[in-house]
Amino acid sequence: MKFPGRIYQGKQWTYLALYNYHPDIYLAHPDSLEGKSSRLAHVTYRWGGFTRAIDLFRLNKAGEIPELKLKPLIRLNRRWIKGVDKRQDVQYKVVRGAPQELLDIAREDIRQFIRTKKGNPPAKKPQGSRVEYHNKIIPETKIQYIHPWKERVATTGKHEFVPECGNVANWDPAKGCITSLIGIENELSFGLQVVRGVYVAPWRECDICYAESKHKPLLKTIYQHDMQQLENELRGAACLKTGSDEKYGRLVKRLRFGKRTEAASKFTRSQFLQVLEVCAKTGTQGIIPTKFLEYDIEAIKLLKKTNSVVLFDQGFDEYEKGACSFGCTNGWRFEQAIRYGEAGVNSAIYLLIADPTKEPTSRDLRILHQIEKHKQSFIGTQLLPVRYKSKSLAKCIAGIEWDHVCKAHGLLESLDDSIHSFEVNAGQLIPRKFHSFWLDLIGNNKEFYRMCHHTDETTWCGGCFAKEGIIANHPRVRVKAIRTKPNRNKEPPKEKPPTATEKHQLSLDF
């Protein structure tokens, strides 16, 4: 999802304007502008009863900004902007030393937007315009709590179209994900009502996340759940069929935490612990894939009490910038997985595989070697082949050229590699055949190494180590395609082939 913006050419500098619907959310500069821009101002204004915000940056160097959908460049014309401040109730927070033309740039931007609104509405009950100067602009954002749709806490998910999946119910703490937030060092603080020192960077969300296009700002979409309602739902009152009010009618044995978002971050940790407490009452087991769960004594007690399974994600740092900005790198997650396992929690590794139709890469071998080294800390490792939602992503992560594949009977097969085989399902490119290394590793899908994957012909369900894994051969329930646009083009990572030493070591491990 590309974010809207516009470039302005002033007499002194070139400026970039980014837009937000929430006046107290401050946007970060795009990653591609690192070292090429500086923050100058945060501006809010009103039209009718609505309030909007603009973040303004100086562009030190012109160039492509792939994260943004830019409107045409505008040159400042001061003759049209008189009266904008008073009419639209404009409030400015400006960095000291910024040129005076910056205010006129903001006024012109507001004028350009308001003229598109019917009647050019002025602010209702204006409070008066003001300009504040600061050495550094530190965001302060008010948290908004919302109620879930139809007051339902548990939602349905994968079980509807993959019947073998035992996770019939799901819980999300919000409509947004922490990965879009950037904390300012030495300024970050968060409470129940206000968060300080946090910028929002939607382009930092994990590139392979299938729910990325569904996310909204986390700080404005945290759910205020009724825990008694959740308990009733887990005991049988949950509605787990899409478009139906039919009750499940029996105990929910397993509850997945975080179907569309990260459930275990500090921003929603209190809700996370509350839901575990409810699971302890109902005898429900938690299934918790996570990138953010650090060592937490209270969490450990509840995870053990509920016999929950925590699957620590092992993905790709270069495509998970938001998580890494909080220190939750793949190396950090592996360390947490070991610590939780040593504390007696059902700790597992969730290993993303870029292209299982080929032999393992050096990255795959390195992680597998580490797993073998600490095998006693884990109850298992579940492989998750990446499902690609765009051509650029497939090329960047796995080196797959969609232009070099042919389409026949709904399948995409490589012209230059008979093993390299995929299918298109729900608008995504999905591996259909697998290299013998991965098939030998998972075996019957019931032991330490398992796979979570499904195609039109076969389902591999690892049971998330809460139940026995299976391999089922039958047609999958079809779902409608979810159309998503590629986020941005990126240079493919330079993957080093495994060395002879790495291959030899792996043969010894297995």
Q: Are residues 191 and 112 both part of a single domain?
A: no
What pLDDT sits at residue 93?
97
Lowest mean pLDDT segment, chosen from 160-174, 216-230, 474-488: 474-488
What would the pLDDT profile of 61-105 be if each residue is shown by its tens digit? 777 898 898 988 888 777 778 889 999 999 999 999 999 999 999
Number of domains in the chain: 2
Domain finish residue from 90, 120, 137: 137
Q: Give the contacts of 118 (CB within 8 A, at least 6 positions apart).
A: none
Q: Is 232 in the same domain as 301?
A: yes
Give 227-273 pLDDT, tens digit per residue: 999 999 999 999 998 888 899 999 999 999 999 999 999 889 999 99
pTM: 0.85
pLDDT at 499: 52
Examine the domain organization and report whether 153 and 91 are in the same domain.
Answer: no
Same domain, 82 and 214: no
Q: 120 and 155, same structural domain?
A: no
Residues 37 and 164 reside in one and the same domain: no
Of the candidates 101, 116, 137, which is a domain's last residue?
137
Q: What is the pLDDT of residues 387-407, one digit of tens each?
A: 888 878 888 887 876 655 544
What's the confidence (pLDDT) of residue 488?
36
Are both 177 and 124 inside the same structural domain? no
CA–CA distance, 348 with 370 (Å, rounded to integer): 13
Do 170 and 269 fall within a single domain? yes
User: Helix (H, G, I), strand (E, B), or coil: what is residue 145?
Assistant: strand
Length of the chain: 510
Please state, in angstroms and rounded to a whole number, the distance separating the CA atoms of residues 467 and 152.
26
Same domain, 128 and 151: no
Among residues 93, 121, 137, the one where a domain terminates is 137
How many CB atoms sit inside 10 A of residue 14's CB?
16
Instruction: Tell me, yes or no, whether 198 and 330 share the same domain.
Output: yes
Domain range for 72 is: 3-137
Per-residue tokens: 250: 């029996």
List the beta bridge partners of residue 18: 5, 55
329 and 397, same domain (yes or no): yes
Cβ neighbors of 436 (< 8 A, separation 6 or more) are none
- 189 with 94, same domain: the answer is no
Say whether 401 sits in a helix, a strand or coil. coil
